[in-house]
Structures are given as C-alpha cells and as structure tokens.
Amino acid sequence: MSENKSREQSGLDEMAVGEWMLPSDALKRFEPPAGMVIAATAEKEVGRYGFRIGTLGLLIKQGSGSEVMQVPAVWTLPGAPPWLLGLINLRGNLVPLFELRMMLGLGQRAVEDKPMVLVFDQGDKAVGILIDDFPKPLFALSQLPNLPQLPTALAGHVQTGYVKDDMIWLEFDQHSFFEAMSRNTD
C-alpha cells in the first residue's frame, strides 16, 4: 500500500515500474514549485567571423565550414596565374591556395608578414586563401545602406556590407567567387 501511495505521489501512477517515458512527455509533466519563477532565456546573439586581407575585411559565410592553419608546403603549378600559389596537401586532399591580395589588387605582402591559411569547405570543394591573422568573432554588426567601392574581382560576390568599430566587413560569397575564378583559369 505504501508503494502505491509513493508511486502516485511521484507521478508514476500511469507508468509501470521499469518503463521509460518519452523525453517530451516527461517535460510536459514538470510543474515548478509554488512561488518559483522561471525566467525566459534571452536569445544568444549569433556572432560572425571576419578575416582581413590588407585593409579589406571579409566575413565568412554563415554555415560555411572553415579552418585556419599555418602555411604548409605549397606545390606550384607551372603556367598558373601568380595569384594561384599552388596546391597544399590537407589530410590527403589537394587544395588550391590563392593569394587574394594579388587577385584583388591590394598590393604585395610584406616579407616579414606571417600569413595564415584559411580553408573554406572540405574534401574536393576545399579552397585555401592567405589571410593576415586569425579570423575574429564579430558581434553587433551594423548593416551599411550602400556598399563601398569594391575591387573588380569581388563584384557580384558581395551583396551586403557591415560596419563594426569603424571597420567595414563585407559579406563574402566564397562559393560564387571561387566558381568564377575556376572558370577564368580554365
């Protein structure tokens, strides 16, 4: 009799001992103790990651996989344009490595600069570029009403611009950009 009473008190009256409830059913049964207030959780602001190439700030496309590494050995490709530095080996995949500074007309990289490689995507879709430093998280970006003057090679690959702490960050569509670059090198 005391077992039935304790089962009823604990809310297990509909369930046989040893059976599990579905999590959704278990959550519906929760009733906070009297006087307890459950605060609504504020939505966490989603940050973006931005990287610099010279004076140009570009945003990594949301939902795009990427990774950063030190510059590995680069195998050059004879007859390739100077901005296509060659191929790198990334876990057994050959990844093209681009120098966007040259491609966008932003000048030569200083010899003492220690660039990093930012790799977008993975597998046979992976593409690497040289960047000036680690990507940084950016929050509270303010959208620009109009885009600034862009390098010609970026035309059509940047739809929106943002500003944060007097730095302009451009929404960079790397998929369309590198697809256009591969058509230009074929």
Instruction: Provide the whole-model pTM.
Output: 0.69
CA–CA gap between residue 17 and residue 24 (Å, rounded) = 19
Share of the chain above pLDDT 70, in %: 78
In the chain the first and final C-alpha atoms are separated, in Å, by: 83
- Domains identified in the chain, total number: 1
Q: Is residue 26 part of a domain?
A: no
Q: Is residue 136 part of a domain?
A: yes
Over residues 169-180, mean pLDDT: 90
Tell me the pLDDT tens digit for each residue of 2-31. Answer: 555 544 455 544 555 567 878 777 767 766
CATH number at residue 61: 2.40.50.180
Q: What are phi and psi of 64, to 5 degrees?
A: -90, 130
